[in-house]
Structures are given as C-alpha cells and as structure tokens.
Amino acid sequence: MSVNKWVVGVCAALVACGSVSVFAQTLPDVHIAANEVQIPTSSSSGLALTFADNAYVWTAFTEGFYFCNDVPQGGYPNVLTLKHEDQSLPQGAHSWTFPSVSVNSFGYSNGTLTFSAFFAQHLECVSTAADGSSASGLADGIFENSYESKTDENFSHLVNWVPPRSFDWSAPNWAQVPVAACDPQADETPIVVEDIGCAAATGVSSSAAAGTARAPTMWTATDGINFTYLFRVDTRFGPQAPGAQPTMSVPLMDSGIAPAGSATMTLLLQDAYESTYLSDAGSWCVIYQLPSALNSSACSQAGSLTLDGPLTQSFSIGAPPFGTGADQAFYVVVNRLVQGSHSTVLTPVVTGTVLIEPAVAIEGGDKFSGDNVVFGFMPNSTGFPWMTGQ
C-alpha cells in the first residue's frame, strides 16, 4: 500500500485531520472511526440508527465539519445525516444542521461505520477540523512538515497560491491574494495546477479603497431578524486557457448529472448552519455582481428561491448546450431567519461548500480541495483565532 493510500485511509473518515476527497480507487472502504465521532451533550453516543419506510437512517455527530456529494443525489435507499455541536459556548452546546447523504450500503463493527467500495465510487467529500483548518489543501491528502506558524500553515492550505516572499499571512494584504480561485493570472502561481476540473467556495469583500478582494471568511450581516451571508463560487471544467477570465453568470440549475459524453461536469452547492441560532426557513439567490452593501434585500433584483433546511443545489459547468461556459464565477447569497443567539465572534455560524462530480474527482479533478469550504461568522468577527495569529 502506497504512502498516499495510507494517508487517505487515515483521513477518509469523518475527521478533524483535514480536507480530502474520497473515492474507491484510493481506498476500498471509507470508514468512520469511533474516536472521530463527536459525543453530543444530549447522548452518550455520537451514532444513532433508525429504520422507517424500508430504509435505514444513520445520524453521525462529527468533531469537525463534513460535506459529501452523492451522485445521483438521493439515488440510494439509506440516508446518512451528519451533525455537529459547537460545545465551546458558555451558554451550552449549539447544534448544526447539514445536508443529508444517500447511502447504498454500510456496516458497523468494532466502533467503525463502514461504507462499501461501490458507495465510495459515487462519493466526493471534504472536511475540516472544528477550527476550520485542513491538514493539507491537496485532495490526495498529502501531509506537509512545516515549521511555520498555524496562521501561515493553515492559510497555505486554504488558498491555492504561492505568495511572494514579501507577503506575510500574519498581516495579509488581501488585495494581493488571487480573487479568481480557479483562474489564476500569469503572476499568480498556484500550489497545484487544477487542469481537469476546479471548484472553490471563498470569502470576498468589497471596499471603496480595494474594490473586490478575497477574504478569509464569508461576508455576513444581520438586522436581528435575518442573517445574511454571501460567498463566491469559482468553477472550471478542463484546463485553464491562456488569458481566460471567469464568466460571471448565473449557472444552469439541475437535479442530476451531466449527460454521458457531454463536455460538462456537475457540481453540488451546499450550506450548513448553526440551527440553535438560525432557522431552517430562509431564501437564497445567485448574483453576478457584488453588492456595495450586504443586507436582507441583496436578492431583491435576482429573485429568491425558498429554503426550508440546508441549501443543496446541483448545476452544470462546461461547454454549451449543457453548461453555460467552461469558466464561471458567481456569488451566492443566503438569508435565514434568526431564532436564537450566538454570543461569540470566535466560532462560525454558517458554512458554504461546492463539490465536484465524483466521476471527475476520480480522474483527478479538484486537486486542491482546501478552498472548497468557506465559513461565516458574526459580523465584525476576524474569523478563527488562527486567522489573526492567536
């Protein structure tokens, strides 16, 4: 067994060790080790099983944040519901709500939940630790030995970019960081070239001084009734063309995978949220121009789609007629009703992610998965403590 296979085997579970894509060619079985499952405050077990309507429903609490893309969505008889608790809050644990994943088959033995290789072929997952960090930004799960600070190390796993020597992640000038995560410019050297397919969910901000700039976290706002969050999605299918610029356009929404043989790949857009603070009820939209200010009216010109739970939307990217362009970038805006409180600026309240079609991941697409998940905090937060060198 190669070193890469061993590393991915360690990290392919619902883990806090890092961001990694999971598929059968890499590992025969995908598993959740018992010590990587979070014990919720209301129970002595992080795993629960029910059976209804001829289907098993597993619930698994994880120490970190975990997202999976199953294709076709809902195409298998059993369901895995992922959960997480923020147990650092003085007023008690706050629960998170995640999209569920359909499962073909699985087993549980000696503290391990195991999925079959057949299921793994139809799954692409990314994960982070509870503090938003990844052990590696690379999809093959390679670990790095580093003597740098956690700030330098974690940002290098978050942004697919080799900064110049003069750049300092401890006091970053975000106007210098590439905004287009999938289409770097000639002077923006990536850590790894994503020449098959690329997907990224990133923070972005707008100011009169800097214009549009990359940001470490989502742009968020609240009026006490609504909580609004915005993040940028960048995608590309195929190698970057010289001088290519991402097309800011609303993608084609669909509910399946691209037709066989089409020059298109399917991506899945998801969010998760602290459901003690935020309601299932809400709305969302896709826009192609960054607003000058963020509030609950940001979707008024684009038209909103209703939410009653996690956002989960697939769309095609690639050559027409099935896609709208081989390169695309757009902004996602979500509004959710506030139903509680969140008393700290140190832990997130929302996340957003974009995952590529597992078949493309198997071929080596989305080689840099550290930028597939972005977190949102209370307004005026500086993000996770490591983001500011704490």
Q: Is residue 376 part of a domain?
A: yes
pTM listed for this prediction: 0.85
**Co-location of 22 and 167 in the same domain:** no
**Co-location of 237 and 380 in the same domain:** yes
Task: Tell me the pLDDT band of 234, cut-offs 50, 70 and 90.
Answer: very high
Determine the Cα–Cα distance for residues 85 and 63; give it in Å rounded to an integer.
8
Q: Is residue 139 part of a domain?
A: no
The yes-or-no verdict on residue 146 having pLDDT over 80 is no
**Co-location of 124 and 161 in the same domain:** no
**Co-location of 254 and 325 in the same domain:** yes
**Co-location of 230 and 361 in the same domain:** yes
Q: Is residue 63 part of a domain?
A: yes
Cβ pair 18, 11 in contact under 8 A: yes
Domain boundary among 69, 93, 128: 128
Indicate the range of 170-184, 200-214, 306-320, 345-359 predicted with least confidence.
200-214
Q: Is residue 136 part of a domain?
A: no
The yes-or-no verdict on residue 323 having pLDDT over 80 is no
pLDDT tens sequence across 238-295: 888 877 878 888 777 766 656 656 688 888 999 999 999 999 999 999 999 898 889 9
Instruction: State residue 263's pLDDT score.
Output: 80
**Co-location of 65 and 210 in the same domain:** no
Q: Is residue 17 part of a domain?
A: yes
Structure tokens at 332: 């996602």
Residue 4 phi/psi, 5-degree rounding, is -60, -45
Q: What is the CA radius of gyration of the chain?
A: 20
Overall domain count for the chain: 2
**Co-location of 247 and 209 in the same domain:** yes
pLDDT tens sequence across 334-362: 999 999 999 899 999 999 999 988 888 88
In the chain, the amino acid numbered 102 is S
Q: Is residue 214 part of a domain?
A: yes
Which range of residues forms the domain containing residue 110? 3-128
Q: Is residue 140 part of a domain?
A: no
Determine the Cα–Cα distance for residues 232 and 330; give it in Å rounded to an integer.
6
- High-pLDDT (> 70) share of the chain, %: 77
Instruction: Give just the sign of the alpha carbon dihedral 193, 195, 200, 203.
Output: positive
**Co-location of 159 and 118 in the same domain:** no
pLDDT tens sequence across 15-47: 333 333 322 222 223 344 434 778 888 887 777
Cβ pair 61, 96 in contact under 8 A: no
Instruction: Give the residue, 147 or 125, on which the prediction is more confident.
Output: 125
Report the alpha-carbon angle 192-196-199, nearest 5.
Answer: 75
Domain boundary among 78, 112, 128: 128
Q: Count Cβ atoms below 10 Å from residue 376 Cβ, excluding itself.
A: 26
**Co-location of 212 and 360 in the same domain:** yes
Task: Tell me the pLDDT band of 190, cut-offs 50, 70 and 90.
Answer: very high
pLDDT tens sequence across 148-172: 688 998 999 999 999 999 999 999 9
* Cβ-based burial of 308 (10 A; exposed 0-12, middle 13-18, buried ≥19): exposed
**Co-location of 203 and 296 in the same domain:** yes
**Co-location of 45 and 119 in the same domain:** yes
**Which residues lie across from 331 on neighbouring strands?**
232, 287
Structure tokens at 151: 């700030």
